[in-house]
Structures are given as structure tokens and as C-alpha cells.
């Protein structure tokens, strides 16, 4: 039955989408709405949905409901621009109104809102009646729903767009199913009898109608008109001969079929017809869901009957799969067996596509079935035709996706496709990559570099290897591989040669990138070398496809690798088909069965292997590495009798040549020998293994900072060094001596707690120290009051405390006359503090005056907009934000957690009231800290810095260099004309790098020499209140790298006695530390890990941030020299006046 239904088409621009969206809905049934960027897709989806709905109605006998979709009067569309005033809102927009005349009346409706139809009386206009109906409707919505619902409902009408009416014509089979009616009348009828299948319904369930994809979803077959006409003639022949398209993958077989469908649908005026359609069917979908005997046969027979009656074309793209579909343990009947009689009698139109290799398999399986088809070869186009096709493809993609390809994009895509995608044919393999680029870069430009990067994502090959314009020196390759291949120079040279040949494109394009045989004793790095090559070529060791050949020693093993007809997924062919860009490792190749060697001859010689279903696996982008222990025992005896490395190599090569057949041996590109590892090589390997241990989830997810001393590595080396067993013995030693003790200690610690783990050696014992790192807590009295509830009270309390401190300073004024050029240290400190106190007081009064000026009628401070703010308050150089630190170390990804926390708590505007009040409180806290608690004095302290690992000594030294600037204390920048005020005088006592003998005499004392050996940095700090301020920095400073690795830095404060020399004080500290190490417990250990003071983060974009856990303050930038003093001032206790004020406040906690 033909249906003609009016539809409303709208285009709207969505700000989140690259182009306009098309909305298609039936005028009288607006609930069936389809949305897509392409109008044809939206229309096709609507036709499919309506067809399924109407077909179901017809099968159930409800023709009355189906007939409503044939109502098609003469319609008129008005797009009314209306303003609707509601009680609290105003709605503006363009509303499409459809009207028609019926029974001498004019009726209108609003399809987009699904409102009841309304009559347009004489004397009224459509716009007036629409205004009335919409006002009534939106007022009810405003009353019943919230503002967000109303905004979401009306917002689409305010967007720019167009609307028009159109007619949707399509065919639906409306044959009534009486079997379904009987089941409805008698529910027990479904319990017995044969299942009845409707062919039309089953076609929609298991197939895909290509005609319904017309026009935009069909690919075009370009530039090969002669072949196209020949195919059309065959498909329209009255004898219904079955046609089989034969050609390599992606040569254009499917595009040829779709071109035929496109031209026929274009000739018929549309693709939505119920007869003479092309249905794409999959053999496996024919039997899906059919669990009872005879079910899938009944379904297929119903499909064949419907196809015969409606003159459909059944299109199969997997003919070999027809012989597997339906076969089970209890039945050998296949889908091909059911189809064959219908094809022989020419009752149905049959179309298929197949590759030459699959055609050979089909003929071997059933020559009679294969001979039923008329073969139409589809050859690869010529170079000129390919270029013309691809140029036309680029033009169509640019138009469809609104993208733009640069001039060098197409040559790059063609070059990459020809070079690396050898298992497919042109132009399909290049067109697929172009389409992938067009979809990904819609409304953007795609150039040569974009194509290279996209192919890198597809293949894994590094851009340096893909790009012919980039140079890649052999030394660079060797250096990169040498990080993982240790103690095997010959293997290093071999793999570097493979990469160089592939980069220069001098390898045989019809063979693998390399066919290598690695021979040598066990545990010397043969498998590790293969992993290193996979990681270098493809960026990931998972690109290593490993097969242990001792699993393929029995007859029939070769079939397991390539598969059989009953189990076609061969282990080797399926792995390479899924990942053609890989390193293939055949471990212990000499143990494989002889049939496996015969199979490998084709792989090594031709770079391809065909499985039981005729599917070809391409090996031309793989490096094949075979390992063997042949000759290892003989070579060991040669070396034992003072033989040279060349003698050992000859032994290995001779053993391989004697074992393998000549035709196999001659296909090997290179035989590489591996020597036994010496102690130095095993030491380097042990370090790599330990690095792998550090990267395990048990440590990385626990927020672990781990360091292993050199002595510990040597200790493990002594127990794992067994030259005859190689690196495997070392791995066992590491697991036994390192992993087990660490696991014992970690098992009792909560996974969310950050820990510092250190492994070191004392004598003949390995020590493992695990310390849990705790967050620092605010100092007593350091809690800041609310800066927004009573800012005037904060300023008033600050002025009171400054007045008290100023009076105490005058009472303790140092004796002596103050004259120019005759000021002693105590007098200088006194004058500096008085001047600093006055600066803070002036700043407080200035802020108080501005606050009074901006107070509103209710007495609450009013902050002016950004553009209207006065600039009388100087600018601060630091931005702050509050930071919640309670669960920072419980997050799975610290970097992500900090980023999200920063986003949740945007930092204060540097001109805001809160920022200025925070600045004032910091100044008051500094004044309180520097105020004398007794006689004026200059205490001296040592700040001793220790990193967890000597490898991070550069970080320790850098932090020591900046530490002295932390204590050149000043208030925050109250006045740009007045620089930092005098504070602590920092004198660096850090050891320069190099031999300690070349150090100055003052630093060559035993204490400094021992500190240098331990990787310590020592800073001497002297100044007022140094013994009170420097301890505030003592604790753990945690550096979070962008990789997620933790690197803690420990600061210990050690006061110096009056008159004590720096070296003597450091010696006293070292003595105390050694004494604590010799006694159980760490209560007296000056180097026990303290609380985490700050977290210094290097973000992924290089900007970084600093989180001060003690004051819950965040600096949203990388750490700067001046930040130390600022953050310390945030943590200082406030004067007691603030505590008293908080106690008087009834709302205070």
C-alpha cells in the first residue's frame, strides 16, 4: 500500500553542533520526530519508523489507525513571529503554524508543541489565534513547571532557521497475518504447531535495505562507467541470473552495488518502495535467535518466498559464511543448502561479492554452488583513474562534512595507503582514510601533518617513521633502544638496522619488515629485545604478538595457527589481522612441528597467510623474531676453553643451519647471537627491573615515594647474580629480597595514605623503611576569621593589635643614641619593625576608609563592578584560593583532583575585598611574629634538606637555593614604591657539585663531607625570630610530577647554640642522627618524616600550582621564589586580639 503523508521540515542551528540540524516530523503525528544533520538521513529514519509501525498495524488488522496516515489535505504554513508576555517571563520566537480548510472551516495546529487543533474564525488571522492559544498554553506551563523547564521548552523557537512543508511517499506491505489474529483470539494456540514467519518482517529483522539509504548514505562508484553499465545489465536481466563480484578487498565491489541502487532509486523518484529492493543479508544474522529445530530454516524460507513475490535482490557479502550458518552438532544442513535450489531454479535474484582467495575456498567447499554465479571481475583502477576517483571523493567529502583538505593531504594519504595497507586495494583504502579525516575534522582543515598523525593513531607507527621529510639518525635509534637492550651490542645493531631500512623504505615490500633469528642462552634478553623494538616502533609493548612454539609440537598444530573451516579463527592469522602493525615473536621456534615450518615459509617469503575462510593476513608490516637456544651448550663449552665471541657465533650459526631446512634457513634476514651477561650489564638490568617494580599498581596507586640506595642495589645484585641463568635469576632475587619485604609493610597501611618508602643497606642486611605521610594541621591561633561577614571588625581588631605591639616595642627599645651611621644590630631591628608596623597600620586605615566610603544604606559593604573599582589599593602579586585537603590523597589521580578542586574554588580577584583583608592579616601576623618576646637577639638555625633519593639531588639543591629567600621577610606588597622590608638574613652554606677536596676550607670539615655524601643540603639562617619561623617550614614538602610520581623533600630545623660554629652544629646533628639509627624506634630520629607542609605540582600543561596544606591555600601557578614567604605568612598565628574577638562573637564556633 502506498502512503502519502505531509511532513514539516525545520532547520535549526545548535551552538554545540558544527552545522544546522534537520528536524522532520509528520504534520498530523508530530510525536514521530527524527533529527539529523543530513535531511536525507532524518527522512530515511522517519520512513523506517513509520513503515515498521504501519506494518505492525496491518499485521494486527488495525487498518483504521493505519488509514489516518493517508489524510493529506491542502496545507498552508505560516511562520509567526510572536511575543508572549507571561506573569514572570517573556517568550519570543518564530512558531510554525499549519492550517487547512475542511467542511467550510479553517483549522490550524502547532505541530512542534503537539497542542490541540484550533479553529480560525472569520475575522481572525492565524497569527492572532496562535497568539491566544500559545499564551494560554505557556501560562499553564509557567504555573505548573519551573523556570528551567519553560526555558528549555521555548529556547529552540528563538534560534534562527527555516521551515517548510513536504510530502513523504513510501510503500508498506499491508498483508494481514491471520495467524497472529488466531493467537490473539486463542492464546493457547501459540503453545503448539510450527512457528509462522512473515518474510517481510524477517527481512527487516535480519537485513538492511540499501534502497532506503538513498541518496546521501550510498557510496558512488566513480569513473568506471563501462563496468557500471555491464553490472546494471546483469542485474536487470530477465533470467534472474545470480551475479558474483570478484575482486580484492576495498577495490569497490560494495560501491558498485550501491551505485546500481542509487541509479535505480533516482530513476524511480525515491528509494522508499516495497518492491524490487536490494537487501543486504549476513549469514550469521539469518540464524540469530533461532534456538529450536527448524526455526532458522522456516525464517529463511519465508524470506525467500517474500523476495520471490516482491522481486527483491538478496545481497550477500560473505558467501563462504553461508556454509557455516546453521551447521550444528546435530545437523549438517547449512544456509547455502537451503538457498541452492532457489538459485538453481532462478526463482530469486541473488547477488554476492567475494575476494579471489575466498572464491578458491568456496570452490573447494562446493564447486557446484560457486559455478551457479555469473562472475564479474572488479579490477583495481589504473593510476590515472585512481587519482580522478580520489579527487572526486575529496570534493564530495568537503561538501558533505564542510571540511577542507590541503593540497598535500591527498598525496600523503595515497602514499601512506600504498606503503602500509597492502592487504587492500585502491581506491578504497585511500578513500576510507580520507573519509575518516573528513568526519573527524568536520568544519576544519586537514593537512599533511594531520593525515600523518591520524595514520599514526591507526597504525601505532611513530610520525618520525611515517614522515619522509623528517630525518632519523641511526645514532638516535641506537640510543633509544639501548635504554632497554643491555649488554647485547649485536642485537642492538640488528634492530637499529631493521628500523633504518624501514625508515628509508628499502625493505622488500612483499616480505615482512624483518625476519630475525635470535639465538643464545636463556635469560640474556632475547624476549626483552623484541619488547623494546615493539615499544620503539609502535609506542607500546602490547604490540608484541607472542607465541610459545612449545605449544605447537603436535601434528595438526599448523591448523590451530591458521584455523579450519569448523573453527576458522586461527590463532596467528586472527591476531595479525586484528593488529597488522606489530612485532611477532615465535619463542623457542625449534620446538615447533614440521608443518608449522612449512606454513611459515609462505609468511617469510610472501608476507601473507590465508586462513580457512580465504581471509588474508598481511605480514608486511610486522617484524618476525624467532628465538632459539640451539647451540647454547656447545657455545658455552667453547667460551669455557678460552674461545672468542666470534667462535661462539660460528657455533650458533652452525647449529641453526644444521637444524633448519635450507628453504627455511635461507628466508631468514639475519641471525643474531646473544652473549652471557656480565655483572655490569646485570646491574643495569636490575635497575630497570626495580623501576618496573616501582611502577606497579600497588605502589603507584598508594601515592608512594620510593627510593632505593646504591648499596641496596648491590646487595640484591650479590644474591641474584648467576651468569648461567642470566636476568631471570636476578628477577627472582628482586621479587624475593625486595618485593616481599615491601609487601609485608604495605599490607598494614591504608591505600589512601601517602607513604615514603626507602630501602638501604647496613652491613649484610637490607633495611626497608615505610613512613606514612600525614597532612599538616593549622597552627594554634592561625585560623583566619571570616573576611566577608564583618570586614570592619577585622580591620578594627588588626588596628588594636598593631597598637599593642607598637607599645611593647617602644617599652623594649634598645639603649643607646640613634644617629646616622652609628646604628647597632639591635637598634636596626627595632627601627625596621617600627617602620614595618607603621606600613601595616597605614594599609589598614586606607582599607578602612575605602570600606566606609562604599557602605550601602544597610551598613553592608558594597563592592563596585570590576570596571568601576578604584585603584587606590595597590595590586598584590599573588592570587589565592581556598583548597580542601582532607581527601586530596584519596583521589585516584592527584593531577585531576587538583585541577577539579581549583575549578570548584576559583581564586580571589586580586582587587577583591577578601583578597585585601587576607593581605592585611598576613601583615599583622608577620608583625606579631617579629615582635620581641624578650631581649633583642638574632638566633641562628640550620635548615637541613634531604630528598628521598640521591637521584633527585638537583631538586634538593634548587630548593635550598630558594629557601634563603623565603625568610627575607616582608609584608605583602603594600606599596609598589616601597620594596621588601628587612627580615631574616639568609646565608647559603650549600655544597657546590664536584670533588669535596676542591671545596673551600670552611666547607671541607668532616661534617660537611658526610652531609655531601648523604645528599644533604645545609642552609644557615640568622635573624630575629629565626628559631620560631624556620621550624614552620620543617616537615615534608611533596613534589607531584606530571606523571603522577611523588618526590618528597624533607626539611629539618636544627638550632645552633650561642657561639657555636656552623660545622660544629652540623656535626652535633649528624651525631644525633647516627645515634637514633642505632636504637629501635624513630622518636629521636631528627630525619623522621614530618607532616606534609605543601604540595608542589607540575601540571600537564607546564603551569603548575602550589597547595599549602597547613593554611588550605592554593597558588594557581608554578612555585616562585617569593611564594615561600607569602605562604608562610598565611600560616602564622594571629595576635591574641583576634582570638578574643572570636570568643566574643556568639556565632563563632
Cα separation of 321 and 569, whole Å? 13
- Phi, psi values for residue 1117, rounded to 5°: -155, 165
Instruction: Choose among 359, 391, 361: nearest CA to 375.
Output: 359
Non-local CB neighbours of 1022 within 8 Å, separated by 6+ positions: 938, 939, 940, 941, 984, 985, 987
For range 987-1006, the mean pLDDT: 40
Are β-strands 704-708 and 374-377 bridged in parallel, bridged antiparallel, or unpaired?
Answer: unpaired
pLDDT at 1116: 80
C-alpha–C-alpha distance, residues 104 and 102, integer Å: 5
How confident is the model over 623-673, as pLDDT tens digits? Answer: 999 999 998 888 777 654 445 567 788 899 999 999 999 999 999 999 999
pLDDT tens-digit map of 953-995: 555 655 665 555 444 443 333 333 322 222 333 333 333 332 2
DSSP string across 629-692: -TTHHHHHHHHHTT--HHHHHHHHHHHHHHHS-HHHHTT-SEEEE-PPP-HHHHHHHHHHHHHH
Per CATH, domain 383-459 is 1.10.8.60: yes
Pairing of the two strands 404-405 and 445-446: parallel
pLDDT of residue 902: 52
CA distance 611 to 614: 5
CB-hemisphere CA count at 13 Å for 537?
Answer: 29
- What's the rounded Cα separation, in Å, for the pair 534 and 543? 6
Residue 181 pLDDT > 80, yes or no? no
Which tens digit of pLDDT belongs to each residue from 349-360?
999 999 999 999
Per-residue model confidence as pLDDT tens digits over 1081-1136: 556 677 778 888 888 887 666 677 888 888 878 888 777 766 777 787 888 888 98
**Over residues 889-901, mean pLDDT:** 54
For strand 243-246 and strand 374-377, is the pairing parallel, antiparallel, or unpaired? parallel
Question: Counting beta carbons within 10 angstroms of the beta carbon of residue 504, is it exposed (0 to 12), middle (13 to 18) or buried (19 or more)?
Answer: exposed
Q: Which residues 6+ apart lie within 8 Å of 162 measured at CB?
A: 10, 11
Burial class (CB in 10 A: 0-12, 13-18, 19+), 55: buried
Burial class of residue 571 in the structure, from the number of CB atoms within 10 Å of its CB (0-12 exposed, 13-18 middle, 19+ buried) = middle
CB 72 within 8 A of CB 167: yes
Residues 6+ apart with CB under 8 A from 490: 672, 673, 674, 675
Q: Is 144 exposed, middle or buried (0-12, 13-18, 19+ CB in 10 A)?
A: exposed
Averaged confidence pLDDT in the chain: 82
HSE value, Cβ hemisphere, 13 Å, CA-based, for 686: 31
Can you tell me the mean pLDDT for 464-472? 92
Task: Give the integer Cα–Cα distance in Å for 216 and 399.
Answer: 12
Say how far apart CA 639 and CA 724 lie, in whole Å: 12
H-helix or E-strand spanning residue 165: strand 161-171
Q: What is the pLDDT of residues 694-728, one digit of tens each?
A: 888 888 777 777 778 778 888 888 888 888 888 88
The vertex-497 CA angle with 491 and 502, nearest 5°, equals 135
Cβ atoms of residues 756 and 745 within 8 Å: no
Q: Is the pLDDT of residue 17 over 90?
A: no
Average pLDDT over residues 60-74: 86
159 has a pLDDT exceeding 80: yes
Domains 201-377 and 383-459 share a fold: no
Q: Please say whether the structural domain 201-377 has been given the CATH code 3.10.20.30.
A: no
The residue-averaged pLDDT of 86-114 equals: 91
Given a contact cutoff of 8 angstroms between Cβ atoms, the answer to whether 628 and 590 are in contact is yes
115: closest CA among 138, 85, 93?
138
Burial 968-981 (b: 16+ CB within 10 A, else e): bbbbbbbeeeeeeb
Assess contact for 714 and 762: CB atoms under 8 A: no
Given CATH 3.30.70, say whether it is the number of domain 937-1135: yes
Identify the helix (H) or strand (E) that includes residue 1094: strand 1092-1097
pLDDT at 537: 94
pLDDT of 825 above 80: no
Average pLDDT for 376-384:
95
Alpha-carbon distance of 70 to 885, in angstroms, equals 67
- Hey, where are the domains in the chain? 2-171, 201-377, 383-459, 474-676, 683-772, 937-1135
Interior/surface letters 404-422, b for 16+ CB within 10 angstroms, e for the rest: bbeeebbebbbebbeebbb
Q: What is the pLDDT of residue 347?
A: 94
Residue 743's Cβ-count burial label (10 Å; 0-12, 13-18, 19+) is: exposed
Dihedral angle sign, alpha carbons of residues 542, 545, 548, 552? positive
Angular region, 758: left φ>0, alpha ψ -120 to 50, beta rest = beta
- For the domain spanning 683-772, the CATH number is 1.10.8.60
**Residue 404's pLDDT band (boundaries 50, 70, 90)?**
very high
Is the pLDDT at 384 greater than 70? The verdict is yes
Q: Which grid coordinates belong to 1064?
A: 660544629
pLDDT (average), residues 412-421: 95
Distance CA 365, CA 320 (A): 8
- What pLDDT sits at residue 639? 53
pLDDT of residue 358: 94
The yes-or-no verdict on residue 315 having pLDDT over 70 is: yes
3-state secondary structure of 7: strand
Give me 912's grid cell.
577583591
Residue 158 CB coordination number (10 Å) = 11
Beta-carbon count within 10 A of 489 CB: 12
Answering whether pTM is above 0.75, one says no
Do strands 1035-1040 and 1046-1055 pair parallel, antiparallel, or not at all (unpaired)? antiparallel
User: For residue range 223-282, what is the model confidence (pLDDT) as tens digits?
Assistant: 899 999 999 999 999 999 999 999 999 999 999 999 999 999 998 877 778 889 999 999
Pick the CATH number of 474-676 from 3.40.50.2300, 3.40.50.300, 3.40.50.1370, 3.30.70.360: 3.40.50.300
Would the pLDDT of 314 be above 50? yes
Amino acid at each position: 500500500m502506498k502512503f502519502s503523508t505531509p511532513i514539516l521540515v525545520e532547520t535549526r542551528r545548535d551552538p554545540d553542533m558544527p552545522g544546522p540540524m534537520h528536524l522532520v516530523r509528520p504534520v498530523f503525528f508530530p510525536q514521530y520526530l527524527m533529527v539529523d544533520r543530513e535531511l536525507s538521513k532524518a527522512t530515511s529514519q522517519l520512513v523506517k519508523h513509520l513503515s515498521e509501525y504501519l506494518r505492525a498495524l496491518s499485521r494486527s488488522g488495525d487498518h483504521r489507525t493505519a488509514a489516518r496516515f493517508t489524510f493529506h489535505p491542502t496545507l498552508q504554513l505560516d511562520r509567526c513571529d510572536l511575543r508572549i508576555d507571561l506573569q514572570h517571563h517573556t517568550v519570543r520566537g518564530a512558531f510554525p503554524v499549519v492550517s487547512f480548510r475542511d467542511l467550510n472551516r479553517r483549522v490550524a495546529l502547532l505541530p512542534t508543541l503537539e497542542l490541540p487543533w484550533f479553529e480560525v474564525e472569520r475575522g481572525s488571522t492565524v497569527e492572532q489565534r496562535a497568539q491566544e492559544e500559545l499564551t494560554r498554553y505557556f501560562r499553564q506551563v509557567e504555573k505548573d513547571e519551573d523556570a528551567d523547564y519553560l526555558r528549555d521548552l521555548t529556547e529552540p523557537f528563538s534560534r534562527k532557521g527555516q521551515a517548510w512543508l513536504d510530502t513523504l511517499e513510501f510503500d508498506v506491505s499491508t498483508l494481514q497475518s491471520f495467524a497472529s489474529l488466531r493467537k490473539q483470539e486463542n492464546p493457547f494456540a501459540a503453545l503448539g504447531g510450527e512457528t509462522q514467519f512473515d518474510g517481510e518482517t524477517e527481512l527487516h529483522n535480519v537485513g538492511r535495505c540499501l534502497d532506503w539509504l538513498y541518496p546521501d548514505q550510498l557510496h558512488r562508484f566513480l569513473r568506471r562507467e563501462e563496468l557500471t553499465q555491464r553490472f546494471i545489465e546483469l542485474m536487470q536481466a530477465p533470467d534472474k541470473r545470480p551475479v558474483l563480484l570478484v575482486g580484492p578487498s576495498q577495490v569497490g565491489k560494495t560501491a558498485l552495488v550501491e551505485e546500481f541502487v542509487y541509479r535505480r532509486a533516482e530513476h524511480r523518484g525515491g528509494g522508499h518502495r516495497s518492491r524490487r529492493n536490494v537487501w543486504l543479508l549476513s549469514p550469521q544474522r539469518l540464524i540469530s535467535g533461532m534456538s529450536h529445530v527448524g526455526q532458522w530454516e522456516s525464517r529463511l524460507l519465508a524470506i525467500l518466498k517474500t523476495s520471490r513475490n516482491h522481486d527483491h535482490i538478496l545481497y550477500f557479502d560473505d558467501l563462504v559464511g553461508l556454509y557455516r550458518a546453521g551447521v550444528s552438532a546435530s545437523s549438517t544442513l547449512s544456509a547455502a543448502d537451503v538457498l541452492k535450489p532457489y538459485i538453481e531454479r532462478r526463482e530469486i535474484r541473488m547477488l554476492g561479492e567475494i575476494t579471489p582467495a575466498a572464491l578458491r575456498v568456496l570452490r573447494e567447499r562446493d564447486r557446484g554452488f560457486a559455478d551457479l554465479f555469473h562472475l564479474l571481475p572488479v579490477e583495481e583502477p589504473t593510476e590515472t583513474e585512481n587519482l580522478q576517483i580520489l579527487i572526486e571523493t575529496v570534493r564530495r567529502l568537503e561538501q558533505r562534512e564542510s571540511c577542507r583538505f590541503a593540497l598535500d593531504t591527498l598525496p600523503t594519504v595515497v602514499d601512506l595507503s600504498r606503503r602500509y595497507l597492502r592487504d587492500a586495494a585502491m581506491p578504497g583504502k585511500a578513500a576510507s582514510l580520507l573519509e575518516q579525516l573528513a568526519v573527524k575534522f568536520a568544519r576544519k582543515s586537514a593537512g599533511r601533518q594531520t593525515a600523518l598523525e591520524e595514520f599514526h593513531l591507526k597504525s601505532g607507527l611513530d610520525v618520525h617513521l611515517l614522515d619522509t621529510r623528517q630525518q632519523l639518525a641511526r645514532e638516535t635509534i641506537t640510543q633509544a633502544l639501548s635504554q632497554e637492550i643491555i649488554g647485547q651490542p649485536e642485537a642492538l645493531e640488528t634492530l637499529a638496522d631493521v628500523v633504518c631500512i624501514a625508515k628509508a623504505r628499502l625493505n622488500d615490500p612483499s616480505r615482512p619488515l624483518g625476519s630475525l633469528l635470535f639465538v643464545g642462552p636463556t635469560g640474556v634478553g632475547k624476549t626483552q629485545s623484541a619488547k623494546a623494538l615493539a615499544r620503539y616502533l609502535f609506542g607500546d609493548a602490547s604490540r608484541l604478538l607472542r607465541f610459545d612454539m612449545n605449544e605447537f609440537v603436535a601434528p595438526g598444530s599448523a591448523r590451530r595457527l591458521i584455523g579450519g573451516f569448523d573453527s576458522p579463527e586461527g590463532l596467528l592469522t586472527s591476531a595479525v589481522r586484528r593488529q597488522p602493525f606489530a612485532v611477532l615473536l615465535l619463542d623457542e621456534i625449534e620446538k615447533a612441528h614440521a608443518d608449522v615450518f612449512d606454513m611459515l615459509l609462505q609468511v617469510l617469503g610472501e608476507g601473507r597467510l590465508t586462513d580457512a575462510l580465504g581471509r588474508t593476513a598481511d605480514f608486511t608490516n610486522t617484524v618476525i623474531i624467532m628465538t632459539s637456544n640451539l647451540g647454547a651448550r656447545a657455545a658455552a663449552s667453547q667460551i669455557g676453553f678460552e674461545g672468542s665471541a666470534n667462535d661462539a657465533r660460528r657455533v650458533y650459526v652452525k647449529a641453526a643451519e644444521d637444524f633448519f631446512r635450507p628453504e627455511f634457513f635461507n628466508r631468514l634476514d639475519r641471525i643474531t647471537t646473544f652473549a652471557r651477561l656480565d655483572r655490569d650489564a646485570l646491574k643495569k638490568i636490575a635497575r630497570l627491573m626495580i623501576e618496573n617494580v616501582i611502577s606497579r599498581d600497588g605502589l603507584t596507586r598508594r601515592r608512594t615515594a620510593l627510593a632505593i640506595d646504591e648499596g641496596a642495589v648491590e646487595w640484591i645484585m650479590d644474591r641474584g647474580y648467576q651468569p648461567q641463568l642470566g636476568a631471570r635469576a636476578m628477577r627472582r632475587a628482586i621479587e624475593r629480597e625486595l618485593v616481599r619485604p615491601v609487601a609485608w609493610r604495605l599490607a598494614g597501611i591504608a591505600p589512601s595514605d601517602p607513604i615514603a618508602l626507602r630501602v638501604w643497606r647496613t652491613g649484610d642486611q637490607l633495611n626497608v623503611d615505610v613512613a606514612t605521610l600525614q597532612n599538616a594541621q593549622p597552627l594554634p591561633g592561625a585560623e583566619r576569621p571570616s573576611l566577608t561577614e564583618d570586614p570592619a571588625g577585622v580591620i578594627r581588631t588588626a588596628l588594636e593589635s598593631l597598637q599593642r605591639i607598637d607599645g611593647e616595642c617602644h617599652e623594649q627599645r634598645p639603649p643607646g643614641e640613634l644617629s646616622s651611621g652609628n646604628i647597632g644590630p639591635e637598634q636596626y631591628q627595632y627601627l625596621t619593625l617600627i617602620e614595618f608596623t607603621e606600613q601595616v597600620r597605614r594599609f589598614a586605615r586606607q582599607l578602612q576608609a575605602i570600606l566606609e566610603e562604599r557602605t550601602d544604606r544597610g551598613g553592608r559593604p558594597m563592592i563596585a563592578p570590576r570596571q568601576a573599582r578604584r585603584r587606590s589599593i595597590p595590586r598584590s602579586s599573588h592570587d589565592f584560593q581556598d583548597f580542601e585537603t582532607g581527601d586530596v590523597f584519596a583521589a585516584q589521580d592527584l593531577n585531576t583532583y587538583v585541577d577539579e578542586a581549583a575549578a570548584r574554588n576559583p581564586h580571589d580577584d586580586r582587587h577583591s575585598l577578601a583578597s585585601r583583608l587576607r593581605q592585611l592579616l598576613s601583615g599583622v601576623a608577620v608583625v606579631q611574629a617579629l615582635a620581641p618576646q624578650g631581649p633583642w637577639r638574632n638566633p641562628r638555625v640550620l635548615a637541613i634538606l634531604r630528598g628521598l633519593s640521591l637521584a633527585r639531588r638537583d631538586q634538593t639543591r634548587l630548593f635550598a637555593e630558594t629557601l634563603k629567600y623565603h625568610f627575607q621577610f616582608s609584608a605583602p606588597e603594600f606599596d609598589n614604591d616601597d620594596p621588601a622590608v628587612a627580615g631574616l638574613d639568609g646565608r647559603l652554606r650549600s655544597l657546590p657539585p664536584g670533588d669535596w677536596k676542591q671545596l673551600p676550607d670552611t666547607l671541607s670539615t668532616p661534617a660537611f663531607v658526610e652531609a655531601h655524601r648523604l645528599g644533604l643540603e645545609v642552609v644557615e639562617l640568622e635573624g630575629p625570630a629565626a628559631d620560631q619561623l624556620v621550624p614552620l617550614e620543617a616537615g615534608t614538602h611533596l613534589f607531584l610530577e606530571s606523571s603522577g610520581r611523588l618526590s618528597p623533600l624533607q626539611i629539618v630545623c636544627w638550632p645552633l647554640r650561642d657561639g657555636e660554629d656552623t660545622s660544629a652544629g652540623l656535626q652535633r646533628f649528624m651525631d644525633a642522627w647516627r645515634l637514633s639509627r642505632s636504637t629501635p624506634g624513630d622518636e629521636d630520629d631528627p630525619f623522621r618524616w614530618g607532616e606534609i607542609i605543601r604540595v608542589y605540582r607540575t601540571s600537564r600543561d607546564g603551569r603548575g600550582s602550589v597547595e599549602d596544606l597547613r593554611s588550605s591555600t592554593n597558588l594557581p601557578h608554578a612555585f616562585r621564589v617569593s611564594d615561600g614567604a607569602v605562604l608562610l605568612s598565611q600560616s602564622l598565628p594571629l595576635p591574641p586580639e583576634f582570638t578574643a574577638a572570636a570568643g566574643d562573637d556568639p556565632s563563632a564556633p
